[in-house]
Amino acid sequence: METSTQTVLFAAELVEENGAYALVVEDVRKGTVQTTPVPGAMVDKLPVFLAALTAKLAPVRQRRGR
């Protein structure tokens, strides 16, 4: 039986403060943090962006001929 170990490389949070949004990304290996402002319109579309990314990166399933 093979076991796998997960290692967190980056951690990200989308935070809101007084109506303003910011993306905070920590590089866990280097111990650095970067923060960038995010427009509210982009926050509203985040579920769409994540779905598109998932669709693009998901393994392609082989179609079976019928």
User: Does a structural domain hold residue 2?
Assistant: no
- The model's pTM: 0.71
Q: Are 21 and 38 in contact (CB under 8 A)?
A: yes
How many folded domains does the chain comprise?
A: 1
- Amino acid making up residue 4: S
Domain extent, residue 18, equals: 10-57
User: Does a structural domain hold residue 22?
Assistant: yes
Say whether pLDDT at 66 is over 60. Answer: no
Say whether pLDDT at 59 is over 90. Answer: no
Tell me the percentage of the chain whose pLDDT exceeds 70.
Answer: 88
